[in-house]
Amino acid sequence: MARGATFEGFETTVPTRHRRSGMKVLRRGGDAVLRAELSVNWAYRVWSGLSTESRGVGRSPLDERQVALACAALDGAAARWADVAVGGTLTWRW
């Protein structure tokens, strides 16, 4: 996103001049992108109680401190989402 990638379902809140294919940006990012995706998947699995020992899951790319930080952030995000009224919106800026 920071490099101008867009993905189906994303809506920008301010106009941007960039509109590159998300897949093109992901391919250029190589190993760093793969590590980020694996880290997000691992943290989500731990946070949501899914197995981390299933075939194909692999070793954690995160240490215990990183998992704890990610889970705390997901708890905060879930709380914000839960506070949104039916029909409301949640705008997240970072």
Q: What is the pLDDT of residue 54?
A: 78
pLDDT (tens digit, 9 = 90+) per residue, 24-68? 766 777 778 778 888 998 999 999 999 888 777 788 999 999 999
Question: Would you say 16 and 4 are in contact if contact means Cβ atoms under 8 Å apart?
Answer: yes
Task: Please report which confidence band the pLDDT of residue 4 belongs to, taking 50, 70 and 90 as the band edges.
Answer: low
| pTM of the full structure | 0.67
Whole-angstrom Cα distance, residue 26 to residue 39? 15
Find, among 77, 69, 81, the residue nearest to 94 by Cα: 77
The string of DSSP letters for 18-32 reads --EEHHHHHHHHHHH
Higher pLDDT, 22 or 33: 33
Q: Which pLDDT tens digit goes with each residue over 72-92?
A: 999 999 999 999 999 999 988
